[in-house]
């Protein structure tokens, strides 16, 4: 009955661990997609984005250009002065001495057939007509195109760039992957998925911890039933293996630095960029080992190998040795290697060191990013920059801590229940 009850509980913990591992991978992929689509390269550093934002402002400003009577009167006066200045300049050019016969003929014709005073008298009418042309909706649209011309040229140059083409293809592929047609729809869909995954992940995490607590409850309730201790310990080892497997493969730490909002005023209107991702990484212990070992430098390979041996292989061998020591015959149980790994290898295992190292790395990174991002924060009438640091420890870290503590408890229990020499 004990084995049956613990077997059902083990299946539950295995299911919770499998789902947590799946959701952790899914969350990492979605967050990578989110960070890619919202990367600062596609937003604040994109000429196309600037062109779109400025084009909207220019079209809106020119299209909604409305002048009061007073403004029209002032503008008309300015236009009149410009036209009169042009007439005076033209007249001065005509009156200059001419050396060639054709020049003298042109001068004679203009002085005798062109009445400059009559032209000056028509200047107010010309100015009024120009103001009317400027206020024409068709001409406003043309002015908008002229004003945005330089941005169009820059955007056209960017579109021919190979990096832009590659980025554009990646964005379209992501739209197709999530069946959306715009970045806003994609962000909305990804945020909803991440919120749901986060809730489920922590539910499965606490479910695994609940199973371990129940196992420890069995130990407390059956502490006087020596005939059941071996079976209970072997089943407890299986729970530890599941904790270790999930703790090593699930995401443990996530580094996420963003410009949450950049807002500045251009031509009286706001240009806003939101959720601009500066940096994102999410890693498990196995990911860290894989990355280090794949590096070309010998120092990275050495560090990766040390973490692999002392933080992954040692805990596995230690758990296995405790089982062999308890279940094996006297000769196997008294074997020096088995006894060493079962009772003395804890001082060489770096699982607890990894827990502290990740915690210290989190504290250090968190403080560093907070300080650096805080320096970017600006708030005044023309420019507002708000940054956010989403660096956080993930459920994989909780599971790995649980494994370390649970392993220490099992080692202590083994010393009390072993029928063999533990020294």
In which residue are the tokens 């060493």 written?
A: 340
Q: What is the DSSP letter of 255?
A: E
Handedness of CA 177, 183, 187, 189 (dihedral sign): negative
Tell me whether residue 357 is in a domain.
Answer: yes
Whole-number pLDDT of residue 106: 63
- Burial bucket for residue 243 (CB in 10 Å: 0-12, 13-18, 19+): buried
pLDDT mean by block of 10 residues, the chain; 423 residues: 90 94 91 84 69 66 63 76 78 69 63 65 76 65 61 58 66 85 86 92 94 91 84 90 90 81 70 78 84 84 82 81 74 71 63 66 64 67 69 85 86 75 53
> Is 213 contained in some domain?
yes
265 falls within a domain: yes
Q: How far is CA 121 from CA 84, 113, 124, 181, 298, in A?
A: 10, 16, 7, 59, 88
Tell me if 262 sits within 8 A of 44, measured CB to CB: yes
405 found inside a domain = yes
* Predicted local distance difference test score (pLDDT) of residue 345: 62
Report the pLDDT value the prediction gives residue 200, as an integer from 0 to 100: 94
Q: Taking a C-beta distance cutoff of 8 angstroms, is the pair 357, 229 a contact?
A: no
Q: Which long-range contacts (CB under 8 A, 24 or more apart) does 373-380 make?
A: 373/257, 376/259
In a domain, 374, yes or no: yes
Going by C-beta distance under 8 Å and a sequence separation of 6 or more, which residues neighbour residue 360?
Answer: none
Asked whether residue 169 is assigned to any structural domain, the reply reads no
Q: By C-alpha distance, which of 318, 315, 291 is closest to 303?
A: 291
Please count the structural domains in the chain. 1
Supply 126's token pair. Answer: 């010309």
With respect to residue 301, please indicate whether it lies within any of the assigned structural domains: yes
pLDDT of residue 7: 92
Instruction: Report the predicted TM-score, pTM, of the whole model to 2 decimal places.
Output: 0.69
**So what's the pLDDT on residue 261?**
76
In this prediction, residue 242 carries a pLDDT of 93
- Residue 366 CA to chain centroid, in angstroms? 15
Strands 383-389 and 378-379: antiparallel
Examine residue 203 and state whether it is found in any structural domain, yes or no.
Answer: no
Structural domain including 331 reads 2-33+208-417
pLDDT at 137: 65
């Amino acid at each position: 009955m004990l084995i049956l009850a613990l077997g059902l509980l083990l299946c539950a913990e295995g299911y919770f661990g499998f789902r947590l591992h799946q959701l952790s991978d899914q969350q990492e992929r979605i967050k990578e997609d989110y960070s890619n689509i919202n990367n600062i390269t596609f937003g604040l550093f994109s000429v196309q984005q600037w062109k779109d934002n400025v084009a909207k402002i220019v079209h809106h400003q020119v299209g909604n250009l409305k002048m009061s009577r007073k403004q029209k009167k002032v503008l008309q006066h300015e236009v009149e002065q410009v036209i009169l200045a042009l007439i005076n300049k033209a007249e001065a050019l005509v009156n200059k001495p001419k050396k060639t016969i054709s020049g003298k003929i042109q001068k004679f014709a203009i002085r005798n057939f062109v009445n400059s005073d009559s032209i000056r008298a028509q200047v107010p009418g010309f100015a009024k007509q120009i103001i009317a042309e400027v206020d024409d909706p068709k001409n406003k649209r043309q002015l908008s195109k002229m004003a945005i011309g330089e941005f169009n040229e820059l955007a056209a140059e960017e579109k021919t760039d190979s990096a832009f083409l590659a980025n554009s293809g990646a964005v379209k592929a992501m739209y197709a992957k999530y069946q959306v047609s715009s970045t806003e729809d994609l962000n909305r869909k990804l945020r909803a998925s991440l919120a749901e995954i986060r809730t489920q992940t922590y539910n499965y995490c606490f479910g695994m911890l609940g199973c371990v607590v129940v196992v420890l409850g069995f130990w407390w309730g059956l502490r006087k039933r020596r005939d059941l201790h071996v079976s209970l310990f072997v089943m407890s080892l299986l729970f530890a293996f599941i904790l270790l497997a999930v703790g090593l493969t699930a995401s443990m730490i996530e580094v996420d630095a963003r410009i949450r909002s950049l807002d500045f005023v251009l031509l009286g209107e706001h240009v806003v960029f939101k959720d601009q991702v500066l940096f994102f990484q999410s890693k498990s212990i196995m990911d860290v080992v894989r990355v280090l070992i794949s590096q070309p430098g010998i120092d990275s390979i050495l560090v990766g190998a040390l973490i692999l041996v002392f933080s992954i292989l040692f805990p596995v061998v230690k758990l296995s040795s405790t089982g062999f020591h308890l279940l094996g015959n006297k000769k196997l149980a008294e074997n020096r290697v088995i006894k060493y790994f079962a009772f003395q290898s804890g001082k060489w295992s770096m699982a607890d060191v990894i827990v502290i190292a990740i915690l210290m790395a989190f504290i250090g990174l968190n403080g560093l990013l907070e300080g650096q991002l805080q320096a970017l924060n600006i708030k005044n009438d023309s420019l507002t920059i708000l940054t956010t640091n989403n660096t956080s420890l993930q459920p994989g870290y909780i599971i790995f801590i649980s494994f370390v503590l649970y392993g220490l408890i099992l080692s202590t229990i083994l010393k009390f229940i072993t029928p063999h020499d533990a020294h």
